[in-house]
Amino acid sequence: MRMLVLTAISPEKNATRIIYVKTLFNELCKITNSELIWIVCQPELTQKYKNQDESIHSIHEYKNGLDLIKQHQPDVILLNYQILINHHYSFKI
């Protein structure tokens, strides 16, 4: 299973969101072969990293969201682990 995670925080940091996703991914790996794809959304370019089951990419590597999805073909996309209605309201208009 390919899991794509959009994050504003580098996966190399020990933030709550990163720990949450990595724990979820580790449990998923016990059940099935899995790959974790981090997309870092920061103004500066993030250094690309890849190993057997995890990779880190910068949002700047892609023309748009469709290009990102076509390139990685994820089974699951995680945007946020909380419901933040105020922030997402503008995308509905």
Residue 79: HSE in the Cβ half-sphere, 13 Å Cα cutoff: 5
Interacting residues of 59 by C-beta distance below 8 A, sequence separation 6+: 6, 39, 40, 41, 42, 68
| Strands of the 54-58 sheet, one edge to the other | 49-50, 54-58, 35-40, 2-7, 76-78
Strand partners, 9: none
Predicted local confidence at residue 62, as pLDDT: 93
Instruction: Kindly report the pTM of this predicted structure.
Output: 0.81
Each residue's pLDDT tens digit, 28-51: 999 999 999 999 988 888 888 899
Spatial contact of 16 and 9, defined as CB atoms under 8 Å apart: no
What does the pLDDT look like over 39-87, one tens digit per residue? Answer: 998 888 888 889 989 999 999 999 998 999 999 999 999 886 555 544 4
Question: How do the domains of the chain map onto residue ranges?
Answer: 2-92
